[in-house]
């Protein structure tokens, strides 16, 4: 990490403007009363005091991505297909991008994406082209919220993992620490906006972080969560109880920084068409519905079982024990039915020695 | 323009022949437009491919021709939804997109020297067709072959010309059965699992491979158990809704396994290790 720097709050828009000259910048801004990640608009205030409702996954994993477009050429005489011209969107280089003000939990969400989309088995070119060109300037949390549980899953309010630079809120501004070369570059490009942080400020930053960590509630030991969920697999009464309030709105998956399921569909207009990759949701009934009418996950209980198991059992089993939930708490905070994934985990752990019927 | 190694990009293939198997299943024989690609293309029996009907989308089908016969790749499509209906509209000379091969294959090497019992129901004959033709093209490598193929009614059989040819061979046995008796049907009548019990294939040095609707699979597995087949001797291919075909999009998982990359072929012993979510 480079030496700590300091930037006063009122200079943040100038920093954003400097970065926005050559890059696409995403920042947390207000929209219809909610705080969400949006392309930076200098006319809007960047909001720091509350975590955004949406995660920043849109920056690297857009809700809708055109994979390629095509045009079916017909023989005008016979109407027969003469050819299909396919134009891949990858031919246009992705813009450099900066995600500004994401929290450590949301930034770490991309570490889950990396394990899945950029591994020995497969390298997804649409993902990696955006991922490589995106930098994350993360804001350390000064107070955990009631729904936060990053520390349950290996995170912390000031965890720099996955970030390119880390900001810590202090009196009048932010301490800034570059974590990677990418982060250093973003600071150096606007170096005149930053001052060396003196010892007093550095101590203040450390105190802010320590205070946030001190406010975390005691965490459960999730070492046995996989086997505990395995014990509950056949216990549909348990899953029905846990999902009784679920209204299948899919919000938990759309807001989740680590949910990466997608759909692939075509949209066409006459002979022209596009193939789209769009966010999908495992909590939706159509998601696993087969053409025959058979559905291996026919009820909310089956679907929630798969969602929780995927994050806390299947993914860790496949990727060396790493849980794929980042503990941001969005699924808890914004669920219209108040379904709480922490309750599901704790209840499963409580009953880990109890066999299902 | 194509980016090399883009796993989402289909290769163009021309339909050289089509055939209606029954009221809802249409078979397509396709050849890649790029001749060099067609010549270098290889796959193993049981692997699947994604077919694109441009304008409608993609869906997954097994390559039901064998790798020993590379004049074309054959897919059989049951009309069920938007993509399959669009595929059914296509005719000889039209272009489709193909992403293949995807998934794993039947363990044809391990099966060498063994007797093979193939048990198919309905469109479940498609993956077994590629396996059977592969074995017939390497006939000396395999022991006795028994095929039990059942459908609801005589009209529902696929690959009728193949069935006639296989039935005439003296180096394999074919049992065709329909669920209930009807006029002009002189062959076997009865549900596949019951016919299997009547045939009593010996589990000694044998492998059973089954594919069909879930209810048939369930009772076929019971029947194989009664006959003395162990979980290691039973192979099945699974169906799941799939989109990407590369273990990313999420929907075809059973526990931590993805049917599109770890399957579709599983032994019963492998399935017992997974959470029961079929």
pLDDT at B167 over 80: yes
**Residue A289 CB coordination number (10 Å):** 16
Backbone angles phi, psi at A24, to 5 degrees: -85, 125
Mean pLDDT of chain B: 95
| B243 → closest Cβ in A263, A273, A313 | A263
Residue given tokens 């394990």 in the structure block = A115
| pLDDT for the residue A1 | 52
C-alpha to C-alpha distance for A278 and B58, rounded to whole angstroms: 14
Mean pLDDT of B139-164: 97
Mean pLDDT of chain A: 94
A173: β partners: A8, A170
**Would you tell me which residues 263-322 of chain A have a C-beta closer than 8 angstroms to some C-beta of chain B?**
263-266, 268, 273, 275, 277, 280, 282, 287-292, 294, 296-297, 302, 306, 309-310, 313-315, 317-318
| pLDDT for the residue B277 | 86
pLDDT at A2 over 60: no
Question: Model confidence at A355, in pLDDT bands (50, 70, 90)?
Answer: confident
CA distance A22 to chain B (A): 25
Mean pLDDT of B100-107: 97
Which residues make Cβ contacts (< 8 Å) with residue A273, sequence separation at least 6? A69, A70, A71, A72, A266, A267, B54, B55
CA distance B223 to chain A (A): 23
| A264 → closest Cβ in B239, B244, B255 | B244
Residue given tokens 């101590």 in the structure block = A203
* Helices A125-132, A104-117: inter-axial angle, 10-degree rounding: 140
Q: Over the stretch A66-77, which tens digit does the pLDDT of each residue have? A: 999 999 998 888
Mean pLDDT of A266-295: 93
Question: Model confidence at A81, in pLDDT bands (50, 70, 90)?
Answer: confident
pLDDT at A3 over 80: no
| B256 → closest Cβ in A280, A282, A318 | A318
| B255 → closest Cβ in A84, A261, A314 | A314
A28: β partners: A37
Which residues in chain A are contacts of B249 at CB distance < 8 A?
A: 261-264, 280
Sorted by where each starts, the structural domains of chain B and their CATH numbers stand as 11-102 (2.40.30.10), 115-237 (3.40.50.80)
Q: Over the stretch A210-248, which tens digit does the pLDDT of each residue have? A: 999 999 999 999 999 999 999 999 999 999 999 999 999
Cα A38 from chain centroid (whole Å) = 14
Here the ipTM equals 0.91
The nearest alpha carbon in chain B to A308 belongs to B255
Question: Model confidence at B4, in pLDDT bands (50, 70, 90)?
Answer: low
| pLDDT for the residue A71 | 96
Can the peptide bond before residue B264 be classed as cis, meaning omega within 30 degrees of 0?
yes
C-alpha to C-alpha distance for B4 and A77, rounded to whole angstroms: 35
CA distance B55 to chain A (A): 5
Q: Are B260 and B237 in contact (CB under 8 A)?
A: no
Question: Model confidence at B214, in pLDDT bands (50, 70, 90)?
Answer: confident
pLDDT at A292 over 90: no
C-alpha to C-alpha distance for A208 and A143, rounded to whole angstroms: 9
| pLDDT for the residue A356 | 75
Q: From the candidates A74, A84, A256, A318, which should be mutated to test the interface with B, based on the most B CB atoms within 10 A?
A: A84
In 3D space, the residue among A313, A60, A348, A44 whose CA is nearest the CA of residue B254 turns out to be: A313
| pLDDT for the residue B233 | 98
| A91 → closest Cβ in B1, B243, B255 | B1
In the numeric block, which tokens belong to residue B157? 């059989």
Helix (H) or strand (E) holding A203: helix A199-214
CA distance A240 to chain B (A): 16
Mean pLDDT of A115-132: 93
């Amino acid at each position: 990490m480079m030496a700590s720097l300091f930037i006063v709050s009122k200079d943040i828009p100038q920093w954003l403007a400097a970065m926005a000259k050559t890059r696409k910048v995403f920042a947390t801004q207000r929209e219809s009363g909610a705080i969400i990640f949006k392309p930076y608009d200098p006319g809007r205030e960047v909001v720091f005091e509350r975590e955004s409702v949406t995660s920043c996954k849109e920056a690297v994993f857009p809700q809708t991505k055109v994979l390629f477009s095509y045009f079916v050429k017909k023989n005008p005489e016979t109407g027969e297909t003469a050819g299909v011209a396919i134009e891949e969107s990858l031919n246009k280089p992705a813009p450099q991008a900066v995600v500004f003000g994401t929290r450590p939990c949301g930034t770490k969400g991309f570490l889950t994406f990396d394990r899945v989309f950029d591994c020995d088995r497969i390298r997804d070119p649409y993902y990696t082209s955006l991922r490589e060109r995106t930098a994350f300037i993360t804001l350390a949390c000064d107070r955990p919220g009631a729904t936060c549980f990053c520390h349950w899953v290996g995170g912390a309010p000031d965890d720099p993992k996955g970030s390119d630079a880390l900001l810590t809120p202090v009196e009048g501004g932010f301490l800034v620490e570059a974590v990677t070369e990418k982060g250093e570059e973003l600071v150096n490009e606007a170096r005149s906006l930053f001052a060396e942080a003196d010892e007093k400020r550095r101590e203040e930053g450390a105190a802010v972080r320590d205070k946030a960590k001190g406010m975390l509630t005691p965490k459960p030991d999730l070492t046995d969560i996989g086997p505990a969920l395995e014990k509950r697999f056949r216990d549909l009464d348990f899953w029905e109880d846990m999902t009784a309030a679920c209204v299948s709105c899919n919000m938990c998956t759309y807001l989740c920084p680590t949910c990466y399921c997608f759909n692939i569909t075509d949209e066409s207009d006459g002979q022209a068409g596009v193939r789209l990759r769009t966010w999908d949701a495992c909590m939706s009934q159509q998601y696993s519905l087969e053409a025959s009418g058979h559905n291996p996950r026919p009820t909310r209980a089956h679907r929630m079982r798969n969602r929780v198991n995927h994050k806390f059992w299947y993914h860790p089993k496949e990727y060396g024990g790493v849980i794929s939930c980042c503990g941001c708490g969005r699924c808890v905070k914004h669920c219209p039915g108040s379904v709480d994934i922490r309750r599901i985990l704790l209840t499963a752990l409580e009953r880990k020695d109890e066999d299902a019927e | 323009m194509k980016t090399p190694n883009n796993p989402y990009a289909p290769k163009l293939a021309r339909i050289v022949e089509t055939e209606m198997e029954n009221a809802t299943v249409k078979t397509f024989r396709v050849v890649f437009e790029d001749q060099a690609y067609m010549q270098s293309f290889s796959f193993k029996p049981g692997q699947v491919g994604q077919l694109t009907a441009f304008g409608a989308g993609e869906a997954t089908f097994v390559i039901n021709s064998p790798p020993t016969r590379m004049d074309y790749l054959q897919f059989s499509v049951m009309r069920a939804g938007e993509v399959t209906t669009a595929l059914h509209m296509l005719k000889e000379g039209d272009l489709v997109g193909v992403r293949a091969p995807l998934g794993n294959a039947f363990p044809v090497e391990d099966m060498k020297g063994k007797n093979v019992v193939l048990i198919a129901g309905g469109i479940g004959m498609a993956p077994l067709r590629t396996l059977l033709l592969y074995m017939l093209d390497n006939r000396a490598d395999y022991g006795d072959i028994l095929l039990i193929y059942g459908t609801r009614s005589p009209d529902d059989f696929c690959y009728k010309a193949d069935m006639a040819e296989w039935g005439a061979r003296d180096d394999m046995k074919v049992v065709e059965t329909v669920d209930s008796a009807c006029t002009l049907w002189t062959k076997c009548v009865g549900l596949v699992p019951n016919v299997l019990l009547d045939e009593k294939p010996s589990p000694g040095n044998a492998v059973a491979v089954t594919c069909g609707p879930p209810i048939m699979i369930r009772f076929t597995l019971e029947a194989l158990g009664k006959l003395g087949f162990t979980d290691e001797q039973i192979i099945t291919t699974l169906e799941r809704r799939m989109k990407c075909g590369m273990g990313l999009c999420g929907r075809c998982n059973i526990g931590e396994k993805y049917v599109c990359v770890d399957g579709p072929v599983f032994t019963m012993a492998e399935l017992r290790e997974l959470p029961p979510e079929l």
